[in-house]
Amino acid sequence: MRRSILLTPGPTQVPEEALAIASMPIMHHRTPQFEKIFAEVEESLKYVFQTANPVLIFTSSGTGAMESTIVNTLSPGDKVIVIVGGKFGERWAEIAKAYNLNLIQLDVPWDQVIDVDRLKKTIEENPDTKAILTTLSETSTGGVTDIESISKITKDKDMLLVVDAISGLGVTNIKTDEWGVDVVIAGSQKGLMIPPGLAFVSVSEKAQKFMENSKLPKYYFSWKKSLKNLDKNTTPWTPGISLIMQINEALKLIKAEGLENVFKRHSRLSKAIREAMLALNLEIYNKNTGDTCTAVKVPEGIDGEKMVKICRDKFMVTLTGGQDQLKGKIFRISAMGNVNENDLMLGVTVVERVLSELGYKFNKGSGVAAAMKSLEEQGA
**DSSP state letters, 48-101:** HHT-SS-EEEEES-HHHHHHHHHHHH--TT-EEEEEESSHHHHHHHHHHHHTT-
Q: How far is the CB of 210 from a copy of itself (least distance, A)?
A: 18
Q: Which of 251/280 has CB closer to a copy of itself?
A: 251
Task: Answer for the pair 166, 191: CB distance below 8 angstroms, yes or no.
Answer: no
Determine, following the binding rule CB under 8 A, whether residue 22 of this chain makes contact with a copy of itself: yes
x/- map, 211-230, a copy of itself, by CB under 8 A: -----xxxxxx---------
Burial class of residue 219 (count of CB atoms within 10 Å of its CB; 0-12, 13-18, 19+): exposed
Among 170, 240, 299, 347, binds a copy of itself (CB under 8 A): 240
Determine, following the binding rule CB under 8 A, whether residue 26 of this chain makes contact with a copy of itself: yes
Determine, following the binding rule CB under 8 A, whether residue 95 of this chain makes contact with a copy of itself: yes
Grouping H, G, I as helix, E, B as strand and the rest as coil, residue 31 is coil
Rounded to whole angstroms, the Cα distance separating 369 from 8 reads 22
Interacting span for a copy of itself (CB under 8 A) from 121-129, 152-160, 210-218, 370-378: 210-218
Among 54, 86, 89, 187, binds a copy of itself (CB under 8 A): 187
Task: Answer for the pair 336, 8: CB distance below 8 angstroms, yes or no.
Answer: yes
x/- map, 115-154, a copy of itself, by CB under 8 A: ----------------------------------------
Torsions phi, psi of 38, nearest 5?
-60, -40
Return the CA Rg of the chain.
Answer: 21
Q: Which of 79/120 has CB closer to a copy of itself?
A: 79
Q: How far is the CB of 104 from a copy of itself (least distance, A)?
A: 19
Q: How far is the CB of 162 from a copy of itself (least distance, A)?
A: 15
Rounded to whole angstroms, the Cα distance separating 117 from 245 reads 43
For helices 147-154 and 116-125, angle between their N-to-C axes, nearest 10 degrees: 20
Task: Answer for the pair 59, 237: CB distance below 8 angstroms, yes or no.
Answer: yes
Task: Answer for the pair 55, 185: CB distance below 8 angstroms, yes or no.
Answer: no
Site for a copy of itself in 38-67 (CB under 8 A): 59-64, 67
- List contacts with a copy of itself (CB under 8 A): 4, 6, 8, 10-14, 19-20, 22-31, 59-64, 67, 94-95, 98-100, 187, 189, 195-197, 216-221, 236-243, 312, 318, 320
